[in-house]
Amino acid sequence: MSSSSTRDQPGTSHETFEDFYSEVKEIEKRDSVLTPSQQIDRLLRPGSTYFNLNPFEVLQIEPEVEVADIKKRYRTLSILVHPDKNPDNQERAQMAFDIVSRSWKILENELTRKRCLEVYEEAKGRTDQMIAEKRKKLKKEGRPTEPIPEDDPTKYKHAIYVMVMKLFADMERRRQKLDQRDQEERKRKRETEIEEEERVKADREWQQNFEESRQSRVNSWHDFQSGAGKSKKAKKQKHMTGMMVPPKFKPESR
């Protein structure tokens, strides 16, 4: 069986993602302080759109960190990737700088930071539920004392991180769906408004044309009435004239 077929099997893609994620986390641990070029590459690496949804990942900090420390990390990272500090790579540096700035704006705001922390709490809850289901399955199979991977604290933390990424991705998909629905609704509303505007415009033009042609219609009616009156008067005069003229005398023939 080919390697591509193996990757397409159910469950394999999840394992591939976990391997990739583990590799990324190891790199980030090893290079917690990267050079400007390395930070730009990290923020724009393949799959970065997925990882950059999590502002804590972008700034390479734990969610428990205080806001003051988040701000210090933001300043350090923003200086490293600032376009002015990377004149030979300004376009990519600007993209990386925007990602860092967006993450800081999310975390400096109390409400959006709280929502991000809630994602971590939900991820922990789901992970614990998944572990409980694994233990329940082992118990049902008669292997209650058999260990599971998440018994290892490092793997447990890793499982939470994987779930965090999934939840952030789900949030982004919902946001995009709502945005699309909102755009479609605004489009429909605008089309209705345009139709109404065109109807009102057509009614206004008809009324204007009607008013402008009113005098012409009145004049035509007056002319018609005047012509009819003259015709009746002429007929009457002709009739009266005929009555006033005496009949011609016809001599008797003998």
Evaluate whether 15 touches 67 at the Cβ level (below 8 Å). Answer: no
Residue 90: which CATH number? 1.10.287
Domain end: 60, 93, 108, which one?
Answer: 108
**Domain coverage including residue 124:** 114-219
pTM of the model: 0.61
Within a domain: residue 72? yes
Within a domain: residue 245? no
72 and 56 in a common domain: yes
Task: Count up the domains in the chain and report the number.
Answer: 2
Within a domain: residue 8? no
Helices and strands in the chain, H and E counts = 10, 0
Within a domain: residue 99? yes
103 and 43 in a common domain: yes
Residue 121, classified by CB atoms within 10 Å of its CB into exposed (0-12), middle (13-18) or buried (19+), is exposed
Within a domain: residue 157? yes
Rounded-to-integer distance, Cα 182 and Cα 176, Å: 10
What does the CA dihedral 222, 224, 226, 232 come to, rounded to 10 degrees?
-150
pLDDT per residue of the chain (254 residues) written in tens, 0 to 9? 444 443 334 444 445 555 555 555 555 555 455 899 999 999 999 988 889 999 999 999 999 999 999 999 999 999 999 999 999 999 999 999 999 999 999 999 999 999 999 999 999 999 999 999 999 999 999 998 999 999 999 999 999 999 999 999 999 999 888 888 888 888 888 888 888 888 898 888 888 887 777 767 677 777 777 765 556 566 656 555 555 556 565 665 55
Count of CB atoms situated within 10 Å of the CB of 69: 13
134 and 158 in a common domain: yes
191 and 134 in a common domain: yes
Within a domain: residue 240? no
Evaluate whether 126 touches 163 at the Cβ level (below 8 Å). Answer: yes
